[in-house]
Amino acid sequence: MQPINTALCSFGMSGWVFHAPFITTHPGFNFYAVLERTKNLAQEKYPFVKTYRSLEEMLADDNIELVISNAPNATHYDFTKKALRAGKHVVVEKPFTIELAEAEELIELARSKKKVLSVYHNRRWDSDYKTVKKIVQEGSLGNIVEAEFHYDRYKDELSPKLHKEVPGPGTGSLYDLGSHLIDQTLHLFGMPEAVFADIRIARAISKVDDYFDLLLYYPNLRVRLKSTYQAREPIPSFVIHGSKGSFIKARGDVQETKLQQHVSPANEEWGTEDESDAGLLHTEIEGEIVRRHVVSERGNYADYYEQLYQAIRHAAEPPVAAEDGLKVIQIIKAAIKSNEEKKVIKL
* The predicted structure's pLDDT at residue 274: 92
pLDDT band at 103 (very low <50, low <70, confident <90, very high): very high
pLDDT band at 41 (very low <50, low <70, confident <90, very high): very high
> Taking the C-alpha atoms of 85, 90, 94 and 96 in order, what is their torsion angle to the nearest 10 degrees?
30
pLDDT-wise least confident of 216-220, 257-261, 264-268, 313-317: 264-268
* The predicted structure's pLDDT at residue 235: 93
Could you tell me the residue ranges of all domains in the chain?
A: 4-120, 123-299+331-346
* The predicted structure's pLDDT at residue 26: 97
* 53 pLDDT more than 90: yes
* The predicted structure's pLDDT at residue 160: 82
Q: Quote the distance between the C-alpha of residue 183 and its chain's center.
A: 7
* The predicted structure's pLDDT at residue 135: 98
Compute the radius of gyration of the chain from its Cα atoms.
20
Per-residue pLDDT reduced to its tens digit, 115-142:
999 999 999 999 999 999 999 999 999 9
Per-residue pLDDT reduced to its tens digit, 252-299:
999 999 999 999 999 889 999 999 999 999 999 999 999 999 999 999
Domain 4-120 matches domain 123-299+331-346 at the CATH topology level: no
Whole-prediction pTM value? 0.96
Per-residue pLDDT reduced to its tens digit, 169-193:
999 999 999 999 999 999 999 999 9
Per the prediction, the chain carries an average pLDDT of 96
* 51 CB-near residues (< 8 Å, 6+ apart): 33, 34, 35, 36, 40, 42, 43
Q: How many residues are recorded in the chain?
A: 347
Of 100, 72, 71, the residue nearest 171 (C-alpha)? 72
φ/ψ bin of 342: left (φ > 0), alpha (ψ from -120 to 50), beta (otherwise): left
Query: Candidates 3.50.50.60, 3.30.430.20, 3.40.50.720, 2.20.28.120; correct CATH number of 4-120?
Result: 3.40.50.720
Three-state DSSP at 176 gives: helix
> With respect to CATH, is domain 123-299+331-346 assigned 3.40.50.920?
no
